[in-house]
A and B are shown apart, each in its own frame.
Chain A
Amino acid sequence: MTKEIMIDPVTRIEGHAKITIQLDDAGDVSDAHFHVTQVRGFEKFSEGRPFQEMPALMARICGICPVSHLVASAKACDTLMAVEVPEVAADLRRVINLGQIVQSHALSFFHLSSPDLLLGMDADPAKRHIFGVAEANMQIAQDGIWLRKFGQQVIERLGGKRVHPGWIVAGGLAEPLKVELRDAILADIPEALQRLQRTLAWFKPVQETFREEMRAFANFPTLFMGLVSKTGGLEHYDGKVRIVDAAGKIVGDNLEPADYATYIGEKVENYSYLKSAYYKPMGYPDGIYRVGPLARLNIIDHVGTPLAEREWVEFRELQRGVPLSSFYYHYARLIELLFGIEKIQQILESPKILDKRVRAFAGPNRSEGVGMSEAPRGTLLHHYKIDESGLMTWSNLIIATANNNMAMDRGVLQTAKQFIQGGKVTDGALNRVEAVIRTFDPCLSCSTHAVGQMPMVVDVLGADGRLIERTTRN
Chain B
Amino acid sequence: MSPTMTEATVVTLKIDDREISARSDQTVLEVAWENDVFVPALCHYEGLGDVGACRLCLVEIKGSPKLTPACAIKVVQDMEVITLSERLQKYRRSIIELLFAERNHICSVCVSNGHCELQWLAQKLGVDHIRYPYLYPKVSVDASHERFALDHNRCILCARCVRACDEVEGAHVWDLLGRGVDTRLISDLGTPWGESETCTTCGKCVHICPTGALFEKGKSVAEMVHARPRFAAMARVRNNSGR
When distances are taken between beta carbons in the complex, the residues of chain A under 8 Å from B149 are 50, 389
The 9 closest A-B pairs by CB, nearest first: A56-B221, A389-B143, A169-B220, A166-B221, A57-B109, A56-B109, A389-B144, A391-B143, A166-B222
CB-defined A-B contacts under 8 Å, sample of 17: A52-B219, A52-B220, A53-B111, A55-B220, A55-B221, A56-B109, A60-B109, A166-B222, A170-B220, A174-B220, A363-B218, A389-B144, A389-B149, A389-B194, A390-B143, A391-B141, A391-B143
Contacts of A236 in B (CB 8 A): none
B220 in contact with A166 (CB, 8 Å): yes
Partner-B contacts on A (CB < 8 A):
48-50, 52-53, 55-57, 60, 164, 166, 169-170, 174, 361, 363, 389-391
Task: Kindly state the separation between the CA atoms of A390 and B219 in the bound complex, as whole angstroms.
Answer: 12
Count contacts between A and B, CB distance < 8 Å. 48
Q: Provide the residues of chain B in CB contact with A52, threshold 8 Å.
A: 217-220
For A363, what are the chain B residues with a Cβ–Cβ distance below 8 Å? 217-218
A361 to B219, CA, bound (A): 10
Q: Once the chains are docked, how many angstroms separate the CA of A152 from the CA of B208?
A: 37
Chain B nearest Cβ from A130, distance in angstroms: 29
Q: How far is the CB of A77 from chain B (nearest CB, A)?
A: 9
- Among the listed A49, A55, A166, A169, which residue makes an inter-chain contact with B141, where contact means beta carbons less than 8 Å apart? A49
Rounded to whole angstroms, the CA-CA distance of A181 and B154 in the bound complex is 35
CA–CA, A111 and B111, complex, Å = 35
Is the C-beta of B223 less than 8 angstroms from some C-beta in chain A? yes
Chain A residue with Cβ nearest B113: A166
What are the residues of chain B within 8 A of A390 when measuring CB–CB? Answer: 143, 217
Q: Name the residue of chain B whose CB is nearest to the CB of A362.
A: B218
Report the Cα distance A306→B218, complex, angstroms.
41
CB-based contact B109/A50 at 8 Å: no
B140: Cβ under 8 A from any A Cβ:
yes
Known: A52-B220, A57-B109, A174-B220. 13 other contacts (CB 8 A): A49-B141, A50-B141, A50-B149, A55-B220, A60-B109, A164-B108, A166-B221, A169-B220, A361-B218, A389-B144, A389-B194, A390-B143, A390-B217
Chain B contact patch, size range: 10 to 19
- For chain B residues 43-66, which have a beta carbon within 8 Å of chain A? none
- B152 → chain A, closest Cβ, in Å? 10
B residues apposed to A, CB below 8 Å: 108-109, 111, 140-141, 143-144, 149, 151, 194, 217-223
CB distance from B139 to the nearest CB of A (A): 9
Q: Is the beta-carbon distance between B143 and A174 smaller than 8 angstroms? A: no
- Which of chain A's residues have a CB closer than 8 A to the CB of B144? 389
Chain B residue, CB-CB nearest to A57: B109
Q: Which residues of B are found within 8 Å of A166, using beta-carbon distances?
A: 220-223
A-side contacts of B143, CB under 8 Å: 50, 389-391
Complex CA gap A281/B149 in Å reads 44
Instruction: Give chain A nearest CB distance to B104 CB in angstroms.
Output: 10
Q: How far in angstroms is the closest Cβ of chain A from B112? A: 12
Given A53-B111, A57-B109, A164-B108, is A48 in contact with B140 using a C-beta cutoff of 8 Å? Answer: yes
Q: Which residues of B contact A389 (CB under 8 A)?
A: 143-144, 149, 194
Residues in B with CB closer than 8 Å to A391 are: 141, 143
Q: In the complex, A50 Cα to B220 Cα: how many Å?
A: 9
Q: With the chains together, A217 CA to B222 CA distance in Å? A: 45
Closest Cβ–Cβ distance, residue A194 to chain B (whole Å) = 37
Contact, CB under 8 Å: B141 / A48: yes
Contacts of B219 in A (CB 8 A): 52
Query: In chain B, what residue has the closest Cβ to A169?
Result: B220
Residues of B within 8 A of A48 (CB): 140-141
A126 to B193, CA, bound (A): 62
Shortest Cβ distance from B111 into A: residue: A53
Shortest beta-carbon distance from A41 to chain B in Å: 14
Inter-chain contact B223/A174, CB cutoff 8 Å: yes
Distance, CA A363 to CA B194, complexed state (A): 14
Looking at B111, B143, B144, B151, the one whose CB has the most chain A CB atoms below 10 A away is: B143
Find the B residue at minimum CB distance from A164: B108
- The CA-CA distance from A322 to B36 in the complex, in Å, is 72
Known: A60-B108, A60-B109. A53 touches B221 (CB 8 A): yes
Complex alpha-carbon distance, A50 and B212, angstroms: 13
Q: Which residue of A lies closest to B212 (CB)?
A: A53
CA distance A48 to B109 in the complex (A): 14
Give Cα A169–Cα B108 distance, bound, in whole angstroms. Answer: 15
* Pair B108/A53 contact, Cβ less than 8 Å: no
**Residues in A whose Cβ lies below 8 Å from that of B222:** 166
Report yes or no: A53 in contact with B217, Cβ–Cβ below 8 A: no
Q: Which residues of A contact B151 (CB under 8 A)?
A: 50
A47 CB to nearest B CB, Å: 10
A50 and B221 within 8 A (CB): no
How many Å from the CB of B185 to the closest CB on chain A? 17
- Chain A residues with CB under 8 Å of B194's CB are 389
A160 to chain B, nearest CB (A): 9
**CA–CA, A174 to B114, complex, Å?**
15
Q: Roughly how many angstroms separate A361 CA and B223 CA in the complex, as a whole number? A: 14
Give, as a whole number of angstroms, the nearest-CB distance from A172 to chain B.
Answer: 10
Q: How far is the CB of A170 from chain B (nearest CB, A)?
A: 7
Chain B residue with the shortest CB-CB distance to A46:
B109
**Among B194, B218, B223: residue with most chain A CB under 10 A:** B218
Query: How far does the alpha carbon of A52 sit from the alpha carbon of B213 in the complex, in Å?
Result: 15
Q: Which residues of A contact B218 (CB under 8 A)?
A: 52, 170, 361, 363
Task: Kindly provide the distance from the CB of B196 to the nearest chain A CB, expressed in whole angstroms.
Answer: 14
Chain A residue with the shortest CB-CB distance to B139: A48
